[in-house]
Amino acid sequence: MTQLQINEVAPRDGFQSEASFIPTADKIRLIDALSVTGLARIETTSFVSPKAIPHLRDAAEVVTGIQRRTDVGITVLVPNVKGAERALAGGIDEVNLVMSASDSHGLANLRMTPTQSLEQFAAIIEAVRDHPQGRAVFINASLSTSFGCPFEGEVPQARVFELIEHQLALGVQGVTLCDTTGMANPAQVARLCEAAQSRFPDTPFTLHFHNTRGMGLANALAAWQTGITRFDASLGGLGGCPFAPGATGNVCTEDLVHMFEQMGVATGVDLDALLAASAILPDLVGHETPGQVVKAGKADRQYPIPSR
């Protein structure tokens, strides 16, 4: 059985949604703690304009300050050519480009239609490949609203595949299918994942689920049952989307790992070390986090018999 690859996104997707800025030193300490847990990749930050996302204004300091390990890929989100150049200067392993599958969400979230995003992708990919540090960098594209748009509703599968074809033609090497506001259900996930892997058999797909409506783990299980082995997840379940107010965030890393490990599916992740990292999050972010296993303990935990 193929071991799963878990990509941790809390330092980027989680922290950018917090009410307060997380100090740079604290970010670095958390990423260093996560890097020894067996995670395949860590999305550490985004090289976006500090005016757009002030919480990630320390992107360069974070990337250059963390301890690097050969067995953990360091991923960053880059929105444009300038961001890509800054990221490459930090010696990252992977760039993640983001676009939406729907016009309305693209304009609301990125101020670009999918067509305009693809034009931006082309410029970024050219800049990465022309850079001396960029030849070994993996290029991934995240396709938001792959399972539905909060403004338009269902996004046709044909539309998702059309955009993936354009991405691959530009030089994208991996694709993340994103359930941006938690609209997906397991049956839908299974259909899209089966069809995507059949149509693009040489493309590594990652699945990115939100737990907005409580179906994050169920959707991850449905994806795995079709052969998907790469998943995004966020420590403590941090993160969210501005178009789903009050919702919980991304599927929780430790809950996802716990589920698969209880099923006998290898993740390569040290769950105890992951739970230890998750336990410090409330003090770090100033509030409780949605993750469940860190509160209840692992399912094989032995409790003392209550005295009468």
**pLDDT tens-digit readout, 44-87:** 999 999 998 999 999 999 999 999 999 999 999 999 999 999 99
Share of the chain above pLDDT 70, in %: 98
Each domain of the chain, given as residue ranges in start order, spans 5-296
Please state, in angstroms and rounded to a whole number, the distance separating the CA atoms of residues 190 and 226: 6
Residue 221 has pLDDT above 80, yes or no: yes
Please state, in angstroms and rounded to a whole number, the distance separating the CA atoms of residues 282 and 266: 28
Please state, in angstroms and rounded to a whole number, the distance separating the CA atoms of residues 199 and 191: 12
Q: Which residue has the higher pLDDT, 240 or 208?
A: 208
CB 231 within 8 A of CB 39: no
For residue 274, the model assigns a pLDDT of 98
Please state, in angstroms and rounded to a whole number, the distance separating the CA atoms of residues 208 and 94: 17
Residue 117 has pLDDT above 90, yes or no: yes
Residue 39 has pLDDT above 90, yes or no: yes
Please state, in angstroms and rounded to a whole number, the distance separating the CA atoms of residues 258 and 74: 23
Residue 1 has pLDDT above 70, yes or no: no
Question: Six-digit token pair at 183?
Answer: 């609209």
pLDDT tens string 128-167? 999 987 779 999 999 999 999 999 999 999 999 999 999 9
Question: Six-digit token pair at 219?
Answer: 């959707």
Q: Which among 70, 72, 94 has a CA at the least distance from the CA of 84? A: 94
Q: How confident is the model at residue 301 (pLDDT cuts 50, 70, 90)?
A: confident
Whole-structure pTM value: 0.95
Of 34-38, 49-53, 163-167, 197-201, least confident by mean pLDDT is 49-53
* Alpha-carbon distances, residue 249 vs 45, 127, 167, 176, 208 (angstroms): 17, 32, 27, 17, 11
Mean pLDDT throughout 174-198? 97
Residue 245 has pLDDT above 80, yes or no: no
Of 149, 178, 193, 241, the catalytic one is 241
Mean pLDDT throughout 212-227? 97
241 is catalytic: yes
CATH of domain 5-296: 3.20.20.70
Output the average pLDDT for the chain.
95
